[in-house]
Structure 1
Amino acid sequence: MTTGPTAATRPRNRKQSIVDAAGQVFSERGYHGASMEEIAAVVGISAAALYRHFPNKYALFAECANGMVDNLIEVLDEWPPEAALQDVLAALIRVTVSHRASGGLYRWEARYLEREDRRQLRTKFTHVVGRVVEMVRREYPLPEERLRAVAALGVIGSVTMHRTSIAQRRIEELLLASAMGVVATDPTAAAGSTRQVELPVQPVPRTRRAEILAAAIPLFARDGFANVTNVQIAQAAGLAPSAIYRHYTGKVDILVSACLQAAGLLAQAVDRSLRQAADPRQAMAALAAAYVAYCFEHNALNSVADAEVASLPADLRRPLILAQREHIAVWEQQLRTLRPELDARQARLLVHAGFGVVVEGGRALRWQNTPAHRDAVTALVTGALTR
């Protein structure tokens, strides 16, 4: 008796295959934009077969959101407490790169987890950070060891947020050097050096349309675009819900306006930062200081622009992605001028590593916009890029 082709070829790790595929779909399309049918198609099974493993989309999402941190904990537990920091970071980088397509899910989409699931996820990340902090404190006894550890993990996690294609071994080498540059940087050494950043000011809402946009941005940042309703936006703006439609065609139109405003402010900040730079090193320092200042000053707006672009239809998303690429190209050009040994893709990888430092460093500091915090994160970005 022979078995049918399905039984003969069914993989034993079907559940893990589903989790891997779902993580990638959730990362690309967001929790609300993904569907069980789409995930099933990626795996190559029917939706009914998918539901045999997971009862609903949320259960699958929760499994995916925990996937990367569970992998990191597993790797950390293989190393003794006295292990060398460089060896442990290299191991963390390897597992992150191997799960690159889905590993960044926690950064923005984890806010859609239910309260208890979010608490458990935070507990796991606290464990990971704590282990790295111990090693950083032992090998690099400088101020702010927790901030440096979190920022180094931001370097590592940054590879999940872009698709720059480089040989895996070279990715690992670049990320390790960048992460080690972060932990070896004293974030207090350059206190006061970045306080003269000239940032563009977010426009004062003087029209009804601008008032609606200003009311929507913090709601999108806090709750996620998909969870915010027009009624909530109208209430925050002090309007009747029907008034929204006299100024915007819908919620997507408001999100597009927010993303365009973010792109415009960031472009102005970059332009101003480079005007007075006399050499490549000054240019990189000025660029880092301006970007950090922008992220702290316009945190809600920047978070929306970073997290919610995937929520837009492709035709509306395209110009925003082009603006992001233009911004990255400026960094890439300045970094390659300073470090000519890097090719374009390697420089781009490191630029994203610098962005990872800002995201995780800013979160660790609760985005409290003080000169000391901005100076510290700027120093760590510089350490990630130029060491």
Structure 2
Amino acid sequence: MVAYPSLDRLADLQWHRKDPRPVAGTGPTYLEEVDVPDRALAPPRGTRPRNRRALILGAASDLFARRGYDQIGMSDLAEAVAIGPSALYRHFSSKQNLLREVIIGGLAPMRQLLENLNLADQSTASAQLAALCLDERHLGVLWQREARRLSLNDYARVRTEVREIGRRLTDRVRAARPELDRRTADLVTWATLAVLMSPSFHDLEMPRPAYDELLAELAGLVLETSLPSAFAAPSPPPVGPVLLPASRREALLAQAVRMFAAQGFASVGMEDIGNAVGITGPSVYNHFPSKLDMLRTAFQRGTAALLMDVSTIYQTSSGAADALRRLVVSYIRFSQVHHDLIGLLITEVEHLPEVERHAARRAQHNYLTEWVHLLQLMYPELEATAARIRVHSAVAVANDTARTPHLRHNPDVPAAIESICGRLLGL
């Protein structure tokens, strides 16, 4: 499984506490496993730079994104900018307030850019969007993983900003492509944003401006993709699964995945899961020794299912292009059906022990390597890093649409996503 958070998903996720109000909550990045050294952000100790507030915000963005909000203390942030904790508190009264400023402040440039963006001049517009998203590369992780740490009021501000960004870009898409109805333009919007945000969830690097040019090209491919002029209205969301497993173990696992995705791993107890499937008391432990074992089992099964698809496709395809196209279709189908599991890979993978977390990331890397391998067989001149960035962008589009309910419930979306991913991969 290859998990990326959806930008629009901020409006659809459940709060990590047991609270019925929707709020952001896509958690630890499930990324390529790359060691990144701490960046030398601190000015010389004892100096008083005029841009100290900006330095603090930059350090917080970097540390929250790479190590996670829960793993960073105010003392870590103070050390990163070579000041004492008391001086840090003069600028920000709490770590949560600092996170709010990092996220909400980071959203402002995108909103401002969209005020006058002209997608009719697509090459210029794509270049502007790509440069901004690479300049603010951490924002995707912070919006999706760490916004759940904000207060409900602050999250509401984030959600409002995100929705406004989506609305403005959809308006720009419709102005440039008047043949599209609003539902189709909405899909183009979120697919474009998925591509632009995808570098936030891996550590692949290219020199700039080459990286800007590649990301702009990928965004432009989405904006240009030929799609139906009108989409069907989304189907009503299902109330729940029509069929339940006969096995109590399987029923528990399926329910655990749904509840972890909706409420957060930390907020769900074993008894809650058992009660949801009619198993009370300690008998639930006869099937799983802990809820961590449930989470681990769900991740392992998802990865095994995808790798089995790779094996089947390799044995039955007529060539690299056929195999890659079938991998795209397979992954879209998987992500649409198992959207809760895709979400858990973003929000809850931090709960795995370190060794298992690294193993999960390595499995993801291996799965994506097969996509890259097929893409380079099709285009031998394509450099490995550029190929992998293309693959990440396509996977991000599949994940985002699967995890955004109003897109997932639209019967026209999977075929459209296949077309978009096909363009991104040169199929």
Q: Residue 116 of structure 1 is aligned with which of 153, 160, 164?
A: 153
Deviation at 1:329, TM superposition (A): 0.2
5 Å matches for 1:216-235? 216-235=256-275
Partner of 1:18: 56
How many angstroms apart in 2 are the aligned matches of 1:370 and 1:239? Answer: 35
5 Å matches for 1:273-292? 273-292=313-332
Contact 2:342-2:399 within 8 A present in 1 as well:
no
Partner of 1:131: 168
Give deviations 1:201-221, integer Å, cap 9, x for gaps. xx9755554443322211221
Partner of 2:401: 361
How many angstroms apart in 2 are the aligned matches of 1:386 and 1:20? Answer: 36
Partner of 2:426: 386
Partner of 2:92: 54
Alignment-mate amino acid for residue 141 of structure 2: G
Any idea what SS the aligned residue of 1:327 has? helix
Q: Residue 304 of structure 1 is aligned with which of 322, 344, 360?
A: 344
Partner of 1:175: 215
How many angstroms apart in 2 are the aligned matches of 1:25 and 1:34? Answer: 7
Note if 1:27 corresponds to 2:65: yes
Q: Residue 164 of structure 1 is aligned with which of 199, 204, 227?
A: 204
Alignment-mate amino acid for residue 271 of structure 1: S
Pick closer, same or farther for the CA change 1:70–1:207 going to 2, 3 Å.
same
Note if 1:145 corresponds to 2:182: no
Using the size of structure 1 for normalisation, the TM-score is 0.84
How many angstroms apart in 2 are the aligned matches of 1:241 and 1:49? Answer: 51
Contact 2:314-2:323 within 8 A present in 1 as well:
yes
Contact 1:244-1:250 within 8 A present in 2 as well:
no
CA RMSD of aligned residues (A): 3.0
Contact 2:310-2:327 within 8 A present in 1 as well:
yes
Contact 1:155-1:353 within 8 A present in 2 as well:
yes
How many angstroms apart in 2 are the aligned matches of 1:14 and 1:244? Answer: 53
Bigger Cα displacement from structure 2, 343-352 vs 101-110? 101-110
Alignment-mate amino acid for residue 319 of structure 1: A
Alignment-mate amino acid for residue 131 of structure 1: R
Q: Residue 413 of structure 2 is aligned with which of 365, 369, 373?
A: 373
Q: Residue 351 of structure 1 is aligned with which of 388, 391, 396?
A: 391
Contact 1:365-1:373 within 8 A present in 2 as well:
no
Partner of 1:199: none
Partner of 1:196: none
Q: Residue 318 of structure 1 is aligned with which of 313, 338, 358?
A: 358
Give deviations 1:314-349, integer Å, cap 9, x for gaps. 212111111101111011111112222211111111
Partner of 1:195: none
Contact 1:111-1:224 within 8 A present in 2 as well:
no
Alignment-mate amino acid for residue 49 of structure 2: P
Deviation at 1:104, TM superposition (A): 2.3
Give deviations 1:282-335, integer Å, cap 9, x for gaps. 222211111111100111112112332234332121111111011110111111
- Would you tell me which structure has more helix in proportion to its own residues? 1
Give deviations 1:153-181, integer Å, cap 9, x for gaps. 11110011100121122221111111111
Unaligned runs of 5+ in 1: 192-202
Partner of 2:110: 72
Deviation at 1:81, TM superposition (A): 5.2
Deviation at 1:351, TM superposition (A): 0.8
How many angstroms apart in 1 are the aligned matches of 2:101 and 2:121? Answer: 31
Partner of 1:263: 303
Using the size of structure 2 for normalisation, the TM-score is 0.76
Alignment-mate amino acid for residue 69 of structure 1: L
Partner of 1:96: 133
5 Å matches for 1:175-194? 175-188=215-228
Contact 2:340-2:403 within 8 A present in 1 as well:
no
Identity of aligned residues (%): 29
